[in-house]
Amino acid sequence: MPDTQSPTRKRIVDAATRLFYAEGIGRVSVDAVAEEAGLTKRTLYYHFKSKDDLIAAYLDGRDQPNLRRMAGWFDAAEGGADRKVEAIFTNLARSARHPKWKGCGFLRTAAELASMPGHPAVKVGARHKLNFETWLAGALSDHGVGEPPALAREIVLLIDGCFSIMLIHRNPDYIEAAGRAAATLVRARISGSQV
């Protein structure tokens, strides 16, 4: 039984992360991952029982880093909850301008696996998105905004809308627009009025 902490396994996941994110899971062969990791396919199959297994491991490795990045942007921003939420979008727009940016790995993988809803990688993605939504609801609650769970969900929808539409238009203006919409939704709950 392979060691789940082994440095070899980590090297494989790192290689898979680079390639899967850059090209998409369907366009990257197991051979290519093995080569990128500097070992043979047989070794890769010693550590992972299938390509599907490797895909799930790739996404699992992105869960915490992604969460920390988003939380960092929120925490670092000045101002009230509306400004902090908008800061997430501003920072997202900045990263999206980087030429290597290819959207959200979780969403892109789910899109590629749309015909296999029970795929383990989709489940990992669902857990990640739920983790984020839960964290955001808590953060909004800490800032005294009304209905944190409902608001967090609406913001999540705008964020994932950005990720998707950016892959079509490649125009960060959409992210800025989503940020303004999110701020509007936050303020609708700060004023307490049922707008």
Partner DNA sequence: TTAGGTATACCGACTAGTGAATATACACAA
Partner DNA sequence: TTGTGTATATTCACTAGTCGGTATACCTAA
Name the residues that contact DNA, by CB under 7 A.
Answer: 1-3, 6, 8, 28-32, 39-43, 45-47, 50-52
Residue 192 is a binding residue for a second copy (CB under 8 A):
no
**In whole angstroms, how close is the CB of 48 to a second copy at the nearest point?**
21
CA gap 156, 182 in Å, rounded: 9
Residue 31, binding choice from DNA, a second copy, none, Cβ under 5 to 8 Å by partner class = DNA
Of the listed pieces 29-37, 48-56, 111-119, 136-144, which binds a second copy according to CB under 8 A? 111-119
Answer for the pair 121, 55: CB distance below 8 angstroms, yes or no. Answer: yes
CA gap 62, 69 in Å, rounded: 11
**In whole angstroms, how close is the CB of 24 to DNA at the nearest point?**
11
CA gap 152, 182 in Å, rounded: 10
Residue 110 is a binding residue for a second copy (CB under 8 A):
yes
Nearest of 185, 26, 19 to residue 102 by alpha carbon? 19
Residue 71 is a binding residue for a second copy (CB under 8 A):
no
Residue 180 is a binding residue for a second copy (CB under 8 A):
yes
Q: Where are the alpha helices (DSSP H) in the chain?
A: 7-23, 30-37, 41-47, 51-76, 81-96, 105-112, 120-142, 148-169, 173-190
Answer for the pair 75, 66: CB distance below 8 angstroms, yes or no. Answer: no
**CB closer to DNA, 54 vs 185:** 54
**Could you list the residues that contact a second copy (CB under 8 A)?**
22-24, 26-27, 102-103, 106-108, 110-112, 114-115, 117, 122, 125-126, 129-130, 150, 153-154, 156-165, 167-170, 174, 177-178, 180-181, 184-185, 187-188, 191, 195
